[in-house]
Structure 1
């Protein structure tokens, strides 16, 4: 009698092309039922494309998909769902204004007919409790913690009694405690016989949860599924990063793949502590608006030659912090001091004249005009520095732009080409060329490596370190703790618009994670650091 199990999911020679770009190339892989499988790789490796093909969202150029040994029509979501496959996206799809019960009913198959509110609550309360999602189902989605929203997304995906559940980058928006909650939920699904495929890119997470790991790089299958019991973190890191790791420091390589949680302190920190701050926020609060959580009594300082990391679950005031520093959010209290001058009532142009530079959260929305030329995008630097009515010499600006873009190793054909034609990494380099100049005293870098591949990420890190070493002060905002721990001299945590704690290297991920969720009662206050004493 054969012990060979029919695979829960098989992809056979799957290739996906978008014009001249190959997202997946001849990928053949099978997943054993009832296990937790990780699919890993850096940004651009093809992980999300693989998930979309497996769940019926993307029609592959060539290749086949089998569910429990039966080939299904690719590119048809309903066929994949009927076969027992569900995908939970990285970006949640729950209607934020709906109650939990309404959101569950909205996403349920075969909905319709007459029902009472009481029966609706009873129906979905039972389903959520069966999956250990503890929530008041009369609450609105927008009022729930992100880990609870994710639990509801998973519960909604399992309404159809799915046998294969694919989670695309499920840890990207979670705190460390939220990740632990997710992993506990995934283990319970495994006990119920569900095959779980996690799309991840951090080794620490993979080895903490998965039974097998499959590695993609550049759209190709490198190896897998491999038993996680048979592979070391170092070997897996090499498979994920590949040849690009040769020019990286060990710290950067580890941070890129999440191979460790902390690193040693920088001896230069003591010298920096004696310098006067170049940016100070004192008791800053902002008025509520539609752009994010308002700030409440925020004290913050940044010294020349240091990188201050800002951690926190997204939506806890990070965007408002940047907007307050840039004069785009209205202060209801407190002061902002830049380069020795109080600038609380001054516009962005005046703050840029004092040396403020910003690498924004969304490079394709806030950082660049994708339909404008490269030289026009770069010229914003010249137009924002100096008198409002200044004479503009396009030829001169093109000349300066070409020189800057070449210095920053931007791959482009002409400064007249549209910014939207560049890759993510080269688009970010254009912003760096514009913002990281010799006159920069304070550089705000908001999610500067999100969506970038290994080479572009390392380039951004090296550029920020070089600016730091020249004496610029860097405020680095990132949702990636490994990135923050690797590059930052200090880290502060934002929670509900407040600074919830300050930490120095070597960083303890559990302590930082606890501050991110408000679980730590003895967090170090930030204000005493203004005296120059390291906490």
Structure 2
């Protein structure tokens, strides 16, 4: 008779409150040893909080955590690690200037020392090879592809012979080939007896890797663990968003939002070809590396009115530099940029905005909004950026205009004097949309416009971009989510190492796009 515990990890009635916000409410879930478990839910469902409680990073307001049959003291990382629980965060914490061997040593000991490079490489080579991480141990972390960095994160987490490994949104920054590599690695861990819990948000990923799935919604457990073999993608989609919300979504949008199916096509209502002179024309644009990322190298890109062009690529391949170059924030070393028929190569941002450039930035709480300023001040920044507030203004008139605009964009707020930092992520993004998508907008750059938003807010953003396109604006959409790109883009262009590496039209083929993202196919087109 086996004495092995029934659960590798069990959470009982776990509640987490941050002030007046309840992130988790009476969540109980049990995960069997030696299996791959998925925890799914839309943004804000409580998935990451759940993972952080299990790893000892968050002290629950109430409830208990049990590892391998023993209750542990919650809110203590040392307790969770000693019990065998390790968490790999979505945002990697690897020191970029360290070599691979130095990173492994520091992760194992938490301290520096005097070592020989050769000795460290020899010490960690077998451990990495055993997890199928093929890498030169003397290379710097910053020089490695994202898939290899993730493999090192997992290897570092398993130094202590972890019995429960939690991966928080591990597929979010990977190419399709990178996801396949990750899943192969996870299956090998299961064969070694490691219990793996994957925090995911795409249903097809759940169906492709997990043994069981647990669904969270609004901080509560809806179902689970359910055997994946006994649950359909349709049922999971309804559990994630709720049947009432599911009924309000376009079928293609819903499939893209929850990743029910592999994305292979665009919306049937998208125009086959945009017409008219290009709104944006970039010819042989190169830059120096800057704070926005790696340099651009000979980029040629045109976007016409009434067209959404999506930029795909593993993060860090020049997407931020592309936006900074168009926005006059990165100096060009060669090439030219035309906007709505005007040569703006040497023009400042204000001049480009006056012509019709609008920007939904990568980081809404850093670049898009001043969280300590009022809503009306944030909204009126459009006029300031275009140099129109040098004349005498009446604050009451600006506040009235702001109120009309925010109501038109369905922003939930108390009054326009409240601080932008008091809004939810979805409502904060709507304030930016209200400011940036106006009748004078000719080119709208939407950089990760739905990151961190729930499904309802994401669908709202997609609809706003489509409506702007239908009014004749040109849209440049940068996203790490291929489902999003395939659902609303008319064309998808792949960025790789600061260059454009392929252009695709609907119906989109995830295999071809993924190959272009990794460089397996050069100059792909469709």
Question: How far off its partner does 1:388 sit?
Answer: 6.8
CA gap 1:138/1:389 in 2 versus in 1, 3 angstroms: same
CA distance in 2, matches of 1:304, 1:118: 58
SS in 2 for 1:80: helix
2:199 aligned residue: 199
* 8 Å CA contact 1:168, 1:199 repeated in 2: yes
Q: How does 1:490-505 map to 2 (within 5 A)?
A: 490-505=491-506
CA distance in 1, matches of 2:490, 2:225: 38
Deviations 1:415-463 (A, max 9, x none): 1111111110110000000000011111100000000011111111111
CA distance in 1, matches of 2:412, 2:119: 60
CA distance in 1, matches of 2:468, 2:371: 26
Question: How far off its partner does 1:263 sit?
Answer: 2.5
SS in 1 for 2:158: helix
2:336 aligned residue: 335
Q: How does 1:445-484 map to 2 (within 5 A)?
A: 445-484=446-485
Q: How many residues align structurally?
A: 524
Q: How does 1:267-286 map to 2 (within 5 A)?
A: 269-272=271-274, 274-286=275-287
User: Are residue 304 (structure 1) and residue 305 (structure 2) matched?
Assistant: yes
* 8 Å CA contact 2:267, 2:487 repeated in 1: no
CA gap 1:298/1:402 in 2 versus in 1, 3 angstroms: same
Deviations 1:2-38 (A, max 9, x none): 7985200000000101111110111111001000000
SS in 2 for 1:269: coil
CA distance in 1, matches of 2:110, 2:325: 48
1:292 aligned residue: 293
Question: How far off its partner does 1:291 sit?
Answer: 2.3
Question: How far off its partner does 1:522 sit?
Answer: 5.3
CA distance in 2, matches of 1:306, 1:49: 39
Question: How far off its partner does 1:213 sit?
Answer: 0.6
CA gap 1:469/1:124 in 2 versus in 1, 3 angstroms: same
Tell me the TM-score normalised to structure 1 length: 0.95
CA distance in 2, matches of 1:382, 1:432: 15
CA gap 1:387/1:404 in 2 versus in 1, 3 angstroms: closer
Which consecutive unaligned segments of at least 5 residues does structure 1 have?
A: 525-534
Deviations 1:102-143 (A, max 9, x none): 111111147677644332221111211121111111111000
Question: How far off its partner does 1:269 sit?
Answer: 2.7
Tell me the TM-score normalised to structure 2 length: 0.97
SS in 2 for 1:379: helix
SS in 1 for 2:43: coil
CA distance in 1, matches of 2:119, 2:268: 60
* 8 Å CA contact 2:53, 2:59 repeated in 1: yes
- Structure 1 stretches of 4+ moved >6 Å: none
User: Are residue 262 (structure 1) and residue 257 (structure 2) matched?
Assistant: no
Question: How far off its partner does 1:270 sit?
Answer: 3.5
Question: How far off its partner does 1:265 sit?
Answer: 5.5
CA distance in 2, matches of 1:475, 1:519: 25
1:124 aligned residue: 124
The more displaced of 238-247 and 503-512 is 238-247
CA gap 1:113/1:173 in 2 versus in 1, 3 angstroms: closer
1:239 aligned residue: 239
SS in 2 for 1:476: strand
CA gap 1:330/1:115 in 2 versus in 1, 3 angstroms: closer
1:362 aligned residue: 363
Deviations 1:142-186 (A, max 9, x none): 000011000000000000000000000001111111111100110
